[in-house]
Amino acid sequence: MLTKRQENILKMIVVEYIKLAKPVGSKLICDKLNCSSATVRNEMMQLEEMGLLEKTHTSSGRVPSEKGYRYYVDNLMEPYELNNEEVYKLQTVFNNSQLELSDVLNRSLEIISDITSYTSVVLDTKSHDNKLKEISVVPVSSEILVVIVVTDLGYVEHKNMEVQGVSLDEVKKTVKLINDLIVGTPIDEISAKLEFEVKPVIAKYVKQHEMLYNAFYDVFTDISSKNVSVVGKNNILKHQEFNDVSKLKDIFSKLDDKNLIENIEESNNDINIYIGHENKVDPDVTVIKTNYKTSKDEGTIAIIGPKRMDYDRVVNLLDYIKKQIEG
Amino acid sequence: MLTKRQENILKMIVVEYIKLAKPVGSKLICDKLNCSSATVRNEMMQLEEMGLLEKTHTSSGRVPSEKGYRYYVDNLMEPYELNNEEVYKLQTVFNNSQLELSDVLNRSLEIISDITSYTSVVLDTKSHDNKLKEISVVPVSSEILVVIVVTDLGYVEHKNMEVQGVSLDEVKKTVKLINDLIVGTPIDEISAKLEFEVKPVIAKYVKQHEMLYNAFYDVFTDISSKNVSVVGKNNILKHQEFNDVSKLKDIFSKLDDKNLIENIEESNNDINIYIGHENKVDPDVTVIKTNYKTSKDEGTIAIIGPKRMDYDRVVNLLDYIKKQIEG
DNA sequence: CCTAGCACTCTTTTTTCTCGATTGCTAAAT
DNA sequence: ATTTAGCAATCGAGAAAAAAGAGTGCTAGG
């Protein structure tokens, strides 16, 4: 158990180190506390023995360890109030009704990346509640058609479809059959339904049924995919812990990794903080993430920065966004 | 005028420097040529006086100047044959008929960025030949509608539209009027036509005409925008000329600059090479670009890398892509 | 016109030295 | 039983010095 004074010292070291990124010495602390530097040093030694602080070399000041950050985050962190500018900037995005949710998320996290200098990740998945509303087809050339898929919650996707030697009438017949048979189907069940309910029927009524079926099947499998975007990558360059080209390469490649989101995703619905080795992205970063869920979409938003991160601010910004969109 | 031997030496220095990024000394050259290092040194001095070579310090080997690269590109560069792997990789993209042209471009330049370690830029603009084929509207909630715009060449765009207190009937009436009046209009003339031909008509027949007109106007103005993407940014990190965090910041911010494409675009239709100060992006890079034009799209594709760039390879890769997409 | 030889220049790398910050420990003070 | 003052010891950062190496320009002779 930590004494009140130890907690105070730990907190001051974390806050100071987050601000200045330089190991914190006993002098700086004892100025603010009413005791001598020797006393502080003794306490620091104890905190180090408990694994909450570290030294960069034998005679350096102290730096919080991952465990130290963890203790700070769990016990010492104070809530942060968004300031007017932050709220104002974010509201311009939330109030723009022309935007789809995925755009709202991207833009608001762009803002957050801007004001915090961290990097954001958005994973947006269409909710299973989306049901097929209609498909339509527009011929572009004799062999290419555009298929437009619309769901009842307002998602629109389109894809080129190639068919060879199929008359437009046959295509239209197929479209009508598909519309008749699977309108109202949740998007993640379309593939199955297409195979077991639509395929037999068009096999019966449509001439080049095989080619048409395959073409539509391809279109629908492509459409239900997830959408991941990483915002504010360049902010990585601003942090001195990454002030080294080979480390930069490393981090950038991890941010571009297709599996990035799998390293972040998790079922938990709160705001979660993964410090250093607690996350799977990179041991030198902290990931703060939360999931969101609306009637139309669900997904994850995350902020990635150095372990020396402005924890309270990021947590509260994420919380604000989550509440706004779920809202 | 350069002698044959001088041209040879210049070419060897450029090729060697492109390969190894180290100033080239007389010894390396005289091994390949049948003459002593002193002779080579004399020639190098002449080339330096002509401004084709530079030294990094008094007693260093030589490095090509911008003028040197220019001479190489204009007079000495040999054509490069794409190898099988390159052709194969690119063909998988060109043969994928499900993709729209803009996706084809993005993916093929991703491949090029991958194999060359440079960064690519794609600007894709819908051709003016695109004519409005139809618009349709899908209600999502009582106040939000999705507007889908389709052109005869197969472009599909959609946008959310917000209207308040407008009945669906009025919306449908408006859609029908718009379709009747402006189907067939080239996309870049839609805004004007909307204002002068549609506005008066709906003002007459539709109740909340002002709100509806404004909503549709917003949708259409958003839709005709250009589409720029930058591919393979991380490759910047691979080049030793940018092996410095502050230079990296600089270049990355230039690649993210909204005006990037204006610094590259130009009317000329060949493959153009802008070395160092010849381009407006950054004096330390070379930009190789070309324009393309198909019946549906037009735009620019460009490769950005250090001045010490694999000129012949990049030129021929770009040329290959251009020919493929222009058909 | 070409080349061998050599002094000179400048970078790179290694080594040495100094300075300052901060610590841990001990002994005295509260 | 804490707290504090004092002090030697440790280590990093940075400056200065030294050594090694690569390449040049120039001169004189082939």
% of chain A exceeding 90 in pLDDT: 65
Q: How confident is the model at residue B269 (pLDDT cuts 50, 70, 90)?
A: confident
Q: How confident is the model at residue A126 (pLDDT cuts 50, 70, 90)?
A: confident
Does A82 reach chain B within 8 Å, measured CB to CB?
A: no
Would you state the pLDDT for residue B37? 94
Nearest chain A residue to B222 by CA distance is A98
CB A11 within 8 A of CB A72: yes
Would you state the pLDDT for residue A158? 87
Check CB contact under 8 Å for A160 and B154: yes
Q: What is the spatial distance, in angstroms and rounded to an integer, between the CA atom of A41 and the C1' atom of C28? A: 18
Backbone angles phi, psi at A287, to 5 degrees: -115, 125
β-sheet bridge partners, residue B292: B299
CB B60 under 7 Å to nucleic chain C: yes
- Residue A121 pLDDT > 90, yes or no? yes
Six token digits for residue A213: 């079926």
Would you state the pLDDT for residue B224? 66
Q: How confident is the model at residue A215 (pLDDT cuts 50, 70, 90)?
A: confident
CA distance A92 to A271: 24
In which region does residue B54 sit, left (phi positive, over 0), alpha (psi from -120 to 50) or beta (all else)?
beta
Would you state the pLDDT for residue A187? 86
Would you state the pLDDT for residue B225? 66
* H/E stretch holding B162: strand B156-162
Would you state the pLDDT for residue A153? 85
CB A17 under 7 Å to nucleic chain C: no
Region B226-232 average pLDDT: 92
Q: What is the spatial distance, in angstroms and rounded to an integer, between the CA atom of B70 and the C1' atom of D27? A: 35
3 state SS for chain A: CCCHHHHHHHHHHHHHHHHHCCCECHHHHHHHCCCCHHHHHHHHHHHHHCCCEEECCCCCCEEECHHHHHHHHHHHCCCCCCCHHHHHHHHHHHCCCCCCHHHHHHHHHHHHHHHHCCEEEEEEEECCCCEEEEEEEEECCCCEEEEEEEECCCCEEEEEEECCCCCHHHHHHHHHHHHHHHCCCEHHHHHHHHHHHHHHHHHHHCCCHHHHHHHHHHHHHHHCCCEEEEECHHHHHHCHHHCCHHHHHHHHHHHHCCCHHHHCCCCCCCEEEEEHHHCCCCCCEEEEEEEEECCCEEEEEEEEEECCCCHHHHHHHHHHHHHHHHC
For the stretch A131-159, pLDDT in tens is 999 898 888 888 888 898 988 888 888 88
Region A3-23 average pLDDT: 96
Paired sense of beta strands A62-64 and A285-293, if any: unpaired
Would you state the pLDDT for residue B144? 86
Taking contacts as CB-CB distances below 8 angstroms, the residues of chain A near B138 are 133, 150, 154, 156
Select the residue of B98, B154, B159 nearest A138 (Cβ to Cβ).
Answer: B154
3-state DSSP assignment of residue B93? helix
Protein residue minimizing CA–C1' distance to D3: A39
- Residue B258 pLDDT > 70, yes or no? yes
For the stretch A290-318, pLDDT in tens is 999 988 889 999 999 999 999 999 999 99
Would you state the pLDDT for residue B208? 85
> Which alpha helices (H) appear in B148-208, and where do they start and end?
168-182, 190-193, 199-205
Q: How confident is the model at residue B270 (pLDDT cuts 50, 70, 90)?
A: very high
Would you state the pLDDT for residue A75? 97
CB A20 under 7 Å to nucleic chain C: no
* B25: nt with nearest C1' to CA: D23
For the stretch A152-196, pLDDT in tens is 888 888 888 888 888 888 899 999 999 999 999 998 888 899 899
Average pLDDT, chain B: 92
Cα-Cα-Cα-Cα torsion B207, B212, B214, B217, nearest 10 degrees, comes to -130
Does A210 reach chain B within 8 Å, measured CB to CB?
A: no
Q: How confident is the model at residue A40 (pLDDT cuts 50, 70, 90)?
A: very high
Region A8-16 average pLDDT: 97
Would you state the pLDDT for residue A224? 66
- Residue B129 pLDDT > 80, yes or no? yes
Check CB contact under 8 Å for B156 and A156: yes
Nearest chain B residue to A99 by CA distance is B160
Would you state the pLDDT for residue B77? 96
Q: How confident is the model at residue A97 (pLDDT cuts 50, 70, 90)?
A: confident
Q: How confident is the model at residue B83 (pLDDT cuts 50, 70, 90)?
A: very high
CA distance A314 to A116: 8
Does A140 reach chain B within 8 Å, measured CB to CB?
A: yes
Q: What is the spatial distance, in angstroms and rounded to an integer, between the CA atom of A76 and the C1' atom of D1? A: 29
